[in-house]
Amino acid sequence: MLSYTVRRLLILIPVLLGMTIITFSIVHLIPGNPAQVILGESATDQQIQNLEETMGINEPYVKQYWIYLTDLLQGDLGTSLKTKSEVVSEIGPKLAATAELTFFAMLFAIIVGVNAGIVSAWKQNSWFDILAMVVALIGVSMPVFWLALMEKWFFAQELGWLPSGGRESSRDPIEPITHFFVIDSILHGDMERLVTTLKHLVLPSVALGTIPMAIIARMTRSSMLEVMKSDYIRTIRAKGSGQIIVIYKHALRNATIPVLTVIGLQTGVLLGGAILTETIFSWPGIGRYVYDAITFRDYPVIQSGILVIAFIFVMINLIVDLLYAYIDPRIKY
């Protein structure tokens, strides 16, 4: 297990380097003079020159990349052109906001998706199965931002059941401790605020989690059906075990293995989807941060935002791979 972990970590090195090459290109390879492009038409020569110097644009690419990389390793993610402050100091609370949203979205996706998949497989061809699979099929075909817009319109604006955006009510901002507002409200011992926070989480999490939920449900179902046909399930039935043990103990554990991979990959979809969902629900997370940066052509922020999200995605997949090895004893290294 240790050797496997170490090997997985070593494999990550070229991947992480490759990622930085791509994000490096965002700022340094844009056609024309990057400084000019970044600062826009109205920039003065002086401004362009200053930026060229700080970016080291006249150096060869290899050297520029080296500078970028060493800066990164020192925790320097560049400076926002819009706010003129360090990206690294801005990104923390936004990351927490995104993490909180992603967590709840994934929680929703996994709980609903896995259970719907199990029941569908168990009661194959029942009305529940057919309904669930139709819903899942529609779910995977839906653009996440459209779903978000529709939810916002219907549940927030038409029905007024839930807040239409933001993480908290603007009149009464929370004193952040961890920047995870659910945890912060608990730490403050403020139950009313906890309810408000959770209410704000419902629409964006459901919007963001629907597609992964549909995919997880489909995957769980087919994986369960596959496992249910296997020889060892027949053995377990031949021992006289009941349906519950067969399904929830043996079939589920075996079926989890492919489902886990899907969950890992869907986290990526979720993180990507966060850019769209957070924009629609004015969620002050990293997705919206990147979206705003796109609108303002704030290249250093786009660059760092993408890098940070990709980094998180890679780490989540690493965890999934390690979990894999934990669940499936056949994987040994």
Partner 1 sequence: MDNIVLELKDLHTHFFTDNGEIPAVDGVSFDLKKGEVVGVVGESGSGKSVTSLSVMQLIPNPPGKIVGGEILFKGENLANASEKRMRKIRGNEISMIFQEPMTSLDPVFTIGNQLIEAIRFHQKISKKQARQRAIHMLELVGIPRADEIVDEYPHQLSGGMRQRVMIAMSMSLNPEVLIADEPTTALDVTIQAQILDLMRNLNQEQGTSILLITHDLGVVSEMCDRVVVMYSGQVVEEGTVREIIKDPQHPYTKGLIRSLPNLYKKEQKLYSIPGTVMKPSTEYVGCRFASRCEFAFDRCFNENPDLYELNHQRKSRCFLHDEEKEVGEFVDTNTRS
Partner 2 sequence: MVKTEHKPELSNEQEPLNQNDKQTKAISPWKDAFKQLRRNRLAITGFIIIFIFLMMGILAPFLTDFTYKEQMLTDRLTPPNSQYWLGTDDLGRDIFTRIAYGARISLAVGFFAIVGALVFGSLLGIIAGYFGKWVDMLISRIFDILLAFPSILLAIAVVAILGSSLQNALIAISIINIPIFGRLVRSKVISLREEEYILAAKAQGLKHGRIIFHHILPNSLAPIIVQATLGFGTAILEAAALGFLGLGASEPDPEWGKMLSDSQAYIQLAPWTLIFPGVSIMLVVLGFNLIGDGLRDALDPRMKN
Partner 3 sequence: MSTPILEVKGLKKYFDIRGGVFGKKVGDVKAVDDVSFTVNRGEILGLVGESGCGKSTTGKALLRLVEPTDGEVIFEDENILDLSKEQMRRLRKDMQIVFQDPYASLNPRHTVEKIISEPLITHGVESSKEQKERVKELLEVVGLEADHASRYPHQFSGGQRQRIGIARALANNPKLIVCDEPVSALDVSVQSQILNLMEELRDKYHLTYIFIAHDLSVVKHISDRVGVMYLGGLVELTTKDQLYESPKHPYTQALLSAVPVADPDYEVDRVILEGDVPSPSNPPSGCPFHTRCPMAMDVCKEVKPEFREIEDQHFVACHLYE
- Closest distance to partner 2 from the beta carbon of 324 (Å): 17
The reply on whether position 123 binds partner 1 by CB under 8 A is no
User: Under rule CB under 8 A, which residues in 2-61 are in contact with partner 3?
Assistant: 3, 6-7, 10
Q: Which amino acid is at 157?
A: Q
Q: Which amino acid is at 271?
A: L
- Can you tell me which of 33, 89, 126, 235 binds partner 1, judged by CB under 8 A? 235
Per-residue mark of binding to partner 3, 304-323 (x: CB under 8 A): --------------------
Give the burial class of 18: count Cβ atoms within 10 A of its Cβ; 0-12 exposed, 13-18 middle, 19 or more buried: exposed
* Cβ atoms 281, 203 nearer than 8 A: yes
Question: Reduced to 3 states, what is the DSSP secondary structure of residue 86?
Answer: strand
- Closest distance to partner 2 from the beta carbon of 260 (Å): 17
User: Under rule CB under 8 A, which residues in 24-83 are in contact with partner 1?
Assistant: none
Report the interface residues with partner 2, using CB under 8 A.
11, 14-16, 18-19, 21-23, 25-26, 29-31, 137-138, 140-146, 149-150, 152-153, 157-158, 268-273, 275-276, 279-280, 290-291, 294-295, 299, 302, 306, 309-310, 313-314
Cα(101)–Cα(237) distance, integer angstroms:
42
The reply on whether position 153 binds partner 3 by CB under 8 A is no
The reply on whether position 248 binds partner 3 by CB under 8 A is no
Side-chain-side CA neighbours of 104 within 13 Å: the count stands at: 21
Q: How far are the Cα atoms of 43, 314, 318 from residue 108, in angstroms, in the given order?
A: 47, 22, 22
Q: What is the DSSP letter of 55?
A: H
Cα(167)–Cα(36) distance, integer angstroms:
37
Cα(41)–Cα(322) distance, integer angstroms:
50
If phi > 0 it is left, if psi is from -120 to 50 it is alpha, else beta; for residue 292 that is alpha
Helices 252-280 and 144-151, axial angle in degrees (round to 10): 70
Q: Which does 232 bind (CB under 5 to 8 A by kind): partner 2, partner 3, partner 1, none?
A: partner 1
* CB of 188 or CB of 324, closer to partner 2: 324
- Closest distance to partner 2 from the beta carbon of 125 (Å): 14
* Cβ atoms 275, 287 nearer than 8 A: yes
- Closest distance to partner 1 from the beta carbon of 231 (Å): 4
Nearest to 137 by CA among 214, 72, 201, 194: 214
* Cβ atoms 149, 142 nearer than 8 A: no
Q: Which does 231 bind (CB under 5 to 8 A by kind): partner 3, partner 2, partner 1, none?
A: partner 1
User: Under rule CB under 8 A, which residues in 271-330 are in contact with partner 1?
Assistant: 327-330
* CB of 246 or CB of 290, closer to partner 2: 290
DSSP assignments along 99-117, one per residue: HHHHHHHHHHHHHHHHHHH
Q: How many residues bind partner 1 (CB under 8 A)?
A: 22
Q: Which does 146 bind (CB under 5 to 8 A by kind): partner 3, partner 2, partner 1, none?
A: partner 2
- Can you tell me which of 49, 83, 230, 295 binds partner 1, judged by CB under 8 A? 230
Binding site for partner 3 (CB under 8 A): 3, 6-7, 10, 333
The binding site for partner 1 (CB under 8 A) comprises: 229-242, 245, 250, 253-254, 327-330
